[in-house]
């Protein structure tokens, strides 16, 4: 596997950090550079360092039971679990975790006016973007397009959204060739 580093800080009251934990390389036509789809999760939360290290089974073991580590920050926990399940190709579990990440992100309360609303929207967009990648990996073009459109509507300036918009467009006729793990702090 190859490794790519993508940096995108997450601004939230907990001062969480965004992790680009998955990059799927999808080769475009011969002679053009590969486009990559991006999943993201949270580093400075329970199991975040394991996700960063690519220890997906450890993330699943720690968060899959929905115990105390998960409950401490359900949005981060369900998002990281979504990424770990996608990386281990456990599609049914990934759908449940991604759906929970969206619901939890929507329910999160932020104080602070417009800035807080933008942070909530970015958090929800992150969950939608991850689920769009899941749909794309399952060759569900309609689901992928719908979720990516939601992410784009909520956070059009977010790097993970704009990156995936470009990658999805480039990969419409391409096949997924390899998985590359990237990090983001």
The span from the CA of 140 to the CA of 106, in Å, is 24
Distances (CA, A) of 160 to 13, 65, 91, 113, 134: 20, 28, 21, 24, 14
More confident residue, 153 or 109: 153
CATH number of 3-183: 1.25.40
Chain centroid to Cα 128, Å, comes to: 8
Q: How many CB atoms lie within 10 A of CB 51?
A: 29
Look up residue 46 and give its two tokens: 């329970």
pLDDT in tens, 96-131: 999 999 999 999 877 777 777 888 899 999 999 999
Asked if residues 73 and 46 have their Cβ atoms less than 8 Å apart, the reply is: yes
The span from the CA of 4 to the CA of 21, in Å, is 10
Between β-strands 176-183 and 3-5, what pairing exists: parallel, antiparallel or unpaired?
parallel
The alpha-carbon radius of gyration of the chain (Å, integer) is: 15
Which residues, 6+ apart, have CB-to-CB distance to 135 below 8 Å?
A: 141, 142, 143, 144, 147
User: In this predicted structure, which of 11-25, 38-52, 62-76, 125-139 has the lowest mean pLDDT?
Assistant: 11-25
More confident residue, 60 or 117: 60
pTM of the predicted model as reported, rounded to 2 decimal places: 0.78
Q: Running DSSP on this structure, what letter comes out for residue 9?
A: B
* pLDDT reported for residue 172: 64
Residue-range domain boundaries for the chain: 3-183
* pLDDT reported for residue 149: 96
More confident residue, 112 or 89: 89
- Torsion-angle region of residue 112: left (phi > 0), alpha (psi -120 to 50) or beta? left
Question: What is the average pLDDT value for the chain, to the nearest integer?
Answer: 76
């Amino acid at each position: 596997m190859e490794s790519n580093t993508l940096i995108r800080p997450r601004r939230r009251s907990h001062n969480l950090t965004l992790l680009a934990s998955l990059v799927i390389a999808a080769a475009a036509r011969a002679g053009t550079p590969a486009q990559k789809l991006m999943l993201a999760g949270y580093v400075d939360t329970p199991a975040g360092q394991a996700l960063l290290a690519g220890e997906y089974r450890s993330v699943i073991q720690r968060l899959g039971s929905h115990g105390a580590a998960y409950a401490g920050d359900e949005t981060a926990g369900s998002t990281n679990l979504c990424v770990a399940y996608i990386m281990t190709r456990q599609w049914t579990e990934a759908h449940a975790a991604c759906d929970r990440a969206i619901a939890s992100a929507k329910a999160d309360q932020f104080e602070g006016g417009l800035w807080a609303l933008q942070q909530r929207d970015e958090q929800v967009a992150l969950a939608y973007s991850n689920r769009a990648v899941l749909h794309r990996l399952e060759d569900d073009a309609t689901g992928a397009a719908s979720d990516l459109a939601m992410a784009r509507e909520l956070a059009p300036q977010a790097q993970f959204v704009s990156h995936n918009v470009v990658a999805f467009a480039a990969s419409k006729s391409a096949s997924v060739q390899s998985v590359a793990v990237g990090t983001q702090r």
